[in-house]
Structure 1
Amino acid sequence: MAPTRVPGQEERVRQVLALAEETGEFVQAARRFLGLARRRGAFTAVEEELADVIITAYVTAAAFDIDIDTVIAHKVDTVLARGWRENEAGEER
């Protein structure tokens, strides 16, 4: 017997894959700009690819019925509550 599909599961899978793809494109643009790839790239490509990641993250959150603004606000509070950490040399990072 085939597993029962959750309504919207195919859309969720597509969005997860799209988010991974956009993230890869951002990494590639950043590597080019930073001189870590065979070809050099412009900073505008980094900006545009990062915007694509953020937009796709919002669409993916909607596919999962996640209130991403609320989740981000909570996560920011959690991260800020951790305080600054020091590295092994005792310097703040």
Structure 2
Amino acid sequence: MLEIRPNCEHCNKDLPSNSNEAMICSFECTYCKTCAIEIFENVCPSCAGNFVERPIRTSEMIAKYPISTKRIYDPKDLEKAKFNADKFREIKPENR
């Protein structure tokens, strides 16, 4: 089950559970759309996977399966992220 993390790991922007701005990779690294697409160019700086929009959990399901309250704030080294993006951006995610 997804943790539904509450913030962007790079810029610390709040990403409430109903946010359309939240992007995740297959390891649930969580970023806002600006960081995921514009800064990291759809290449996760941690695992080199791609990003997809995080699904929204309904309030009824949040009551039953609470979302994470643990904030992860770990700004990435932009030079390393740029190297990673340059290396993988042109390779389709299924071929990385």
Return the TM-score normalized by structure 2.
0.23
Instruction: Return the index of the structure with the highest Cα Rg.
Output: 1
Return the TM-score normalized by structure 1.
0.24
The structure carrying a bigger strand percent of its residues is 2
The structure carrying a bigger helix percent of its residues is 1
